[in-house]
A and B are shown apart, each in its own frame.
Chain A
Amino acid sequence: MASVAESGYIPASRRRRFSRRRVGQAVAPYVLLTPAAAVIGLVLAYPLYLLVKMSFQKYGLFELIRHQGKWIGTANYASIFHDAEFWHVVLRTLLFTAVCVSLTMILGTAIALLLLQVSRWVRIALTTGLVLVWAVPVIVAVDIWRWMVDYQFGVANWILTELHLGNFARHDWFANPWTGFGVFTLLIVWGAIPFVAITVYAALAQVPHELLEAAAIDGAKPWAIFREVTLPLLKPIFVILISLSIIWDFQVFQQIWVMLDGRPSSDYYTMAIYAFHQSFQISEYGLGAAIAVVMVLFMFAATLLYLRQMLRTGEVN
């Protein structure tokens, strides 16, 4: 990271006498950046500051109308940290993220490897199918899955019954949060696999041929070649994919919210839903902000990982 800060300067040796052209050159980039920076500052940076500030304030309906919160120090944090439900929600969100990210990465990589083995026409068909799935809007995906797992006429219950895996007629998947989260996991992993599979496949295709051949000639088994040659080369892409997946899955909101008609029971609260519930449903915006701040901190680790990898790969010069 040190090199990032240092090389922003124009070295002193390259500085020349002031002329109108020089000044224009020096000012131009800032002028070009201003509009984008202004929008990002206004809608991202300022709200982020506001979020932290609100987390130290009492901010209910009354304060919302007055446009003015009341400073209460760390009381919001004390209250959520002493709330057993909050820790349940944190644990649930972490577990859910871990399961979704692992499944996405494993299945996505497996499909990428499969793409290398199949004939050309199968590969084209499969990539096209993956892109199709990738393109489905999240809300549409939720509606499709809601229809498939419908307790009465859903195709999932029918297939499972036909496969003699038990009697699933009129089985309600959301009655039990474990099976309910199972459905959410499937929905999210299904939607996330294409991006991972196609990206890993593109990366695999760039692994130099000679390396693999050399390893094969040396008598290495396919699995050993994958582990010792391919995997280290793909590490950067895995770091980026994993950190992106963590960030996307950790803040899961709309899938659960829309699937459960905007009325999820507390068994289905993830951190994003809990923060949303505290703020918009019971008007405790300060408490909601404190939960959101904790959420941002959790995700900060994944963000750092992503940033470090992006900067390290030399794209940022």
Chain B
Amino acid sequence: MSSVTQIAPTPVAPVVTRPRSRKRLRKAGWNVLGLLVLAVMVFPVYWMVSTAFKPGHDILSYTPQFIPTHPVLSNFTDAIHQQFFWNAVKNSLIVTSVVVVLSLVLAFLAALALAKFSFYGRKPFIVVILGVQMVPLAALIIPLYILMSRVHQVDKLSGVIVMYLTFVLPFAVWTLRGFLLGVPKELEESAMVDGATRFGAFVRILLPLLGPGLVATSIFAFIQAWNEFIIAYVFLHTPEKQTLMVWLASFTTLRGTDWGPLMAGATLCSLPVIIFFVLVQRKIAFGLTAGAVKG
């Protein structure tokens, strides 16, 4: 949680002298407004979690219950006993872990080239890396389907993994490159002067300094792969092969709208993402907009 509190800077309110009590009243007014905004923004998430803990008759009531007075866990047990839940968990875990590991390795190599070498074609490659992030997935899904059916990768996790990899890589390369540039050259050089080989300097000096960057990048890859829906939905037909998000989206169509278990399932699906997200959100925010503000 410390990553959140770190953002707090010194307030930049214009300096205007006013009677103290009026100033305090004003502050209180802003605080009330702030809490109101917080309540409105967080309400949908609260509604999901509280519905997940409500018994069925409290959910299907014409006067909504704002606080679950008789919390139950039956919605959660219903959700995890829903057909294909464990298949979906397994598939999501396979897909995300492979994507995280592969994207980390590939992105690290590419970032190394971009940050530590000067070579012909470096800038065009950077432009491509930034540009491909903008290609609409919804447009590419058609040719991707044709391509994947040609190489017999439709309805296979491996095909989905390769596609996810591509959509994670540009961001991962970009972020890691930023971290690599942040490591002063002198550190590495002094290690080499002290007799370390280039590889030794890399392992002892560079890698530890890159730790936070590698963590941030892998969590970003995890979140992307975990949350992705369109590709998984189009490419994985067999229910046993679907990922959690597809499982969640098809939840209601199986046996009508069963809100309690659906909200419990939704809570379970978002839990890992929320935990990881809170850990790294600052780095993600800055990856997309890096360096755009210079005071």
Seen from chain A, the residues whose Cβ lies within 8 Å of a Cβ on chain B are 4-5, 7-10, 25-26, 28-30, 32-33, 35-37, 39-40, 42-48, 50-51, 54, 59, 64, 67, 111, 114-120, 122-145, 147-148, 150, 153, 155, 158, 169, 190, 193-195, 198-199, 201-209, 212-213, 215-217, 222, 225, 233-234, 236-237, 240-241, 244, 247, 250-251, 253-254, 258, 261-262, 272, 275-276, 279-280, 285, 288-289, 292-293, 295-296, 299, 302-303, 306-307, 309-311, 313-316
Contact = CB atoms under 8 A, between A and B. Distances in A.
B138 A153 contact: no
A141 to B, nearest CB: 7
Contact of A292 (B8, B107, B142, B274): B142
Contacts of A190: 41, 44
Contacts of A225: 14
Nearest to A225: B14
Contact of B119 (A26, A120, A313): A26
B170 A40 contact: yes
Nearest to A47: B143
A314 B12 contact: no
Contacts of A279: 141-142, 145
A119 B208 CA distance: 37
Given A115-B34, A234-B293, 12 more contacts: A8-B122, A28-B117, A36-B107, A40-B129, A128-B1, A132-B45, A153-B60, A209-B10, A216-B14, A233-B295, A296-B135, A306-B134
Interface string B222-244: 01001101100010000000000
When A and B form their complex, which 6 residue pairs have the shortest distance between CB atoms, in order from nearest? Answer: A135-B277, A272-B138, A292-B139, A205-B9, A50-B143, A32-B113
Contacts of A35: 105-106, 109-110
Contacts of B257: 150
A250 B225 CA distance: 22
B195 interface: no
A50 B147 contact: yes
Given A28-B113, A126-B37, A47 B147 contact: yes
A42 B166 CA distance: 9
A219 to B, nearest CB: 10
B139 A258 contact: no
A251 B293 contact: no
Interface stretch (B81-89, B209-217, B258-266): B258-266
A119 B144 contact: no
Contacts of B150: 67
Given A150-B259, A201-B7, A299-B136, A158 B278 contact: no
A280 to B, nearest CB: 7
A289 B138 CA distance: 11
Given A140-B266, A306-B134, A8 B229 contact: no
24 contacts: A29-B119, A35-B105, A36-B173, A43-B163, A54-B142, A114-B30, A118-B34, A122-B31, A133-B41, A133-B42, A135-B274, A140-B248, A140-B269, A148-B47, A153-B59, A208-B295, A209-B12, A213-B14, A213-B15, A233-B293, A258-B249, A285-B142, A314-B291, A315-B291
A134 B278 CA distance: 9
Contact of B266 (A33, A144, A285): A144
A209 to B, nearest CB: 6
A205 B138 contact: no
Given A54-B142, A139-B249, A234-B293, A216 B120 contact: no
Given A39-B106, A116-B11, A122-B34, A144 B48 contact: yes
Interface in B82-115: 105-107, 109-110, 112-114
A147 B139 contact: no
Contacts of B61: 153
A51 B147 CA distance: 10
Given A32-B112, A39-B169, A205-B9, A147 B263 contact: yes
A144 B120 contact: no
Contact of B139 (A32, A127, A295, A306): A295
